[in-house]
Structure 1
Amino acid sequence: MRPLVFGVLGLVLAAPSFAEKAPFADVHLHYNWDQEEVTTPQEAIDRLKANNVVLGVVSGTPSERALKLRKAGGKWIVPFFSPYIHHRGRADWFTDPKVVDRAREALDSGRFFGIGEAHFIAGVGPSFHNEVVQGLLDLAREYDVPFLIHTESSSHEYFEPVCRQNPEIRFQWAHAGARLGPEEVGSLMEACPNVWTELSARDPGRYGYFADADGSLDQSWIELFNRFPDRFMTGADPVWPPGSLYRWDVADTGWDRVGQFLDFHRNWLDQLPSELARKIRLENPKRFYAYVLDTPAGNLRAD
């Protein structure tokens, strides 16, 4: 196990050399307007390559930012359409009917391969019955693409009705429900076979409630991975500092920490049986994204 040190500014890990880093599929990346201020598309791609990322799923605010990473990196970068169609879109996307029209145009273009990330906060909103939300769910169903959903609630029951009522939509559940534990996550995955769960941003510097400060996993998480070995994935989610959303005076420097975030995941994956770890790190994302990778539009990075 590689040692970890956590401080007030984030996490620092003893990183292995490139030769030691097994191929990694990162299913949760962002390239936003406030990240481009400090990290060019080529710099972002170089950092992914330095960490042996062979598949990267990225959403951008606005969505055109994700296309810049694909242009710089190639077909192993899989852009999603973000419903946040302007730089403050996360605050009002569900009130703007143009979002659904833009999403259809994006999917029609053949340049985007999913929808999201879309945030839903219990007690804050938006409602799952919202017309824009329903319009995006309809498009995910029509175009047969995944919906990257971020939910925050004290219970899995917040999200469960949505995945139950839309069994034909493949959901990528960001951050395993943010702060939910293995019992809640397991209940949701049992109820909804169409949900694949990813563990980005569950490091102690952000959502936490996953691995201990020394990187150790609770046995209940290991049991959950063994229960659903084919439906877990993970990624870096390079957003930093936490809580800096829409601050005009602070750029998002998350891409400077991609290696640290990924090494956190490599550390806990090292505690699992090698076959299970490889599934979460690489094979499950390859299957989930086979609808792209098995066409001329996509491939794993081979260089």
Structure 2
Amino acid sequence: MLKSYLTPLLKVALASWAMLLPSVAIADSHDHPIGDAVSELPIFDAHIHYKEPAWEPYPVESVIRLMDNTGVAMGLVSSTPDEGTIMLWEHAPNRVVPELRPYHGNAGSSNWTEFPEMQQYLEGRLHAHPHEGIGEFHIRNRKMWDEDLFRSIIEMAKNLDLFLHVHSDAEPIRWLYDLDPDVKIIWAHAGLGEPASEVYRLMSQYPELVADTSLREHAILGYGDNLDPEWKKIVFDFQDRLMVGSDTWVNGQWDNYEGIIASNRQWLSKLPRSVAEKIAYKNAERLFGRDISMELIGTK
């Protein structure tokens, strides 16, 4: 009797387990690193500069060819001066999201906030061309915390629904949010000089803050086969607000562009496909209202 009693229960249990197996397998596949399949993902490069010293050695055709060779479907581009961005955008409008860098003439990264005509310059360029962000610009020290100028910049950005792309440590980001909690910010290099603990703290404090990870790829990779533990926590906890980038700030970065993108694919390869896709291109699709796919490769 015991055997006849247990058999039906075992059958039910085994049937239930069999029904669970597919979902367990799917969950495991979702958690498994994407690995070599990362090469299939289009990349949105969220930190490109096309500065004047690059124009001759890297004409616009060669820049798009580098993007093609590395699977970079689209990029966020700013330049010193802005004419470089517009040249690249006019050559390949489907591959370039232009943003306006304030630097021009004698206005550079350390003194651009001191120029009395800066507000008029920004307004004029924003009116003349379809920029989708203001930056990347530096806030190096408190001397640059010009409240009147930044309030006007924030107003311009909000009126046109633009991001501010800010190169700074954590405190200027807090200051900008104090000026206006609704400002849209991309934190360049995820703070660069800031330790991972401070990056995590700031991203937690401001749930709308977006960051690009340009120049951070080696820190994220860490040593051995695993990502750096602190950066791994940042990547997973803020996976909806990160984008990769190259930062072609000097021609040496263009010289090594393929290696830079390969390094980014290397750390993305250690993530589950769903997370890798977000950081590679899907977050940019949402933030900039674009369709990004490998079908853009080879096009303009």
Task: Mark yes or no: TM-score above 0.5.
Answer: yes
1:100 lines up with 2:119 in the alignment:
yes
- The amino acid of 1:278's aligned partner reads E
With 192-201 and 180-189 compared, the bigger mean Cα shift is at 180-189
Give the aligned residue type for 1:196: V
Where in structure 2 are the equivalents of 1:35-74 lying within 5 Å?
Answer: 35-74=54-93
Partner residue of 1:193 out of 207, 217, 228: 207
User: Secondary structure of 1:61's match?
Assistant: coil
1:181, 1:210 within 8 Å by CA — same for their partners in 2? no
Match for residue 243 of structure 2 among 233, 238, 244:
233
Structure with the greater alpha carbon radius of gyration: 2
Write the distance in 2 (CA, Å) between the matches of 1:64 and 1:158: 28
Distance 2:172 2:109 in 1: 20
Tell me the TM-score normalized by structure 1: 0.78
% of aligned pairs identical?
26
Maintained 8 Å contact 1:164/1:192: no
Kept in 2: contact 1:57–1:78 (CA 8 A) = yes
SS in 2 for 1:210: helix
Match of 2:287 in 1: 288
Residue in 2 aligned with 1:10? none
1:254 shift after superposition: 2.1
3-state SS in 1 of match to 2:166: strand
Corresponding residue number in structure 1 for 2:150: 133
For the residues of structure 2 that align with 1:213 and 1:36, how far apart are their CA atoms?
36
Match of 1:147 in 2: 164
Q: Please give the alpha-carbon distance, in whole angstroms, between the structure 2 residues aligned to 1:165 and 1:228.
A: 24
Deviation at 1:199, TM superposition (A): 0.3
| CA displacement at 1:60 relative to structure 2 | 0.7
The answer to whether 1:301 aligns with 2:271 is no
Alpha-carbon shift at residue 75 of structure 1 (Å): 2.4
CA drift of 1:126 comes to 4.2
Q: Distance in 1 between matches of 2:155 and 2:42?
A: 34
Any stretches of 5+ residues in structure 1 without a counterpart? 1-16, 241-251, 295-299
| Cα distance in 2 for residues equivalent to 1:271 and 1:58 | 27
> Alpha-carbon deviation of 1:281?
0.5
Matched residue, 2:187: 173
Deviation at 1:210, TM superposition (A): 3.5
Distance 1:68 1:115 in 2: 17
| TM-score normalised over the length of structure 2 | 0.79
- Greater shift in the superposed pair: 211-220 or 37-46: 211-220
Q: Which stretch shows the higher mean deviation, 32-41 or 157-166?
A: 157-166
Quote the offset at 1:217 in angstroms. 1.6
Counterpart code for 1:147: L
**Distance in 1 (alpha carbons) for counterparts of 2:235 and 2:191:** 15
**Any conservation in 1 of the 2:47–2:245 contact (CA below 8 Å)?**
yes
d(CA) in 2 for partners of 1:259, 1:215 = 22
How far 1:112 moved relative to its partner?
1.5
Which amino acid is 1:279 matched to?
K
Matching of residue 163 in structure 1 with residue 158 in structure 2? no
Tell me, which stretches of 5 or more residues in structure 2 are unaligned?
1-35
Find the aligned partners of 1:264 and 1:40 in 2 and give their Cα distance: 24
Equivalents in 2 of 1:116, 1:126: separation in Å?
Answer: 18
Offset from partner CA, 1:248-270 (integer Å, 9 cap, x none): xxxx3321211111111110111
Relative to its length, the structure with more helix (as a share) is: 2
> Contact conserved, 1:128 with 1:162, CA < 8 A, in 2?
no
Could you say what secondary structure the match of 1:172 adopts? strand
Q: 1:192 to 1:289 in 2, by over 3 A?
A: same
Give how far 1:287 is off.
0.8
In structure 1, the residue matched to 2:273 is 274
User: Counterparts of 1:213 and 1:117 in 2: how far apart (Å)?
Assistant: 30
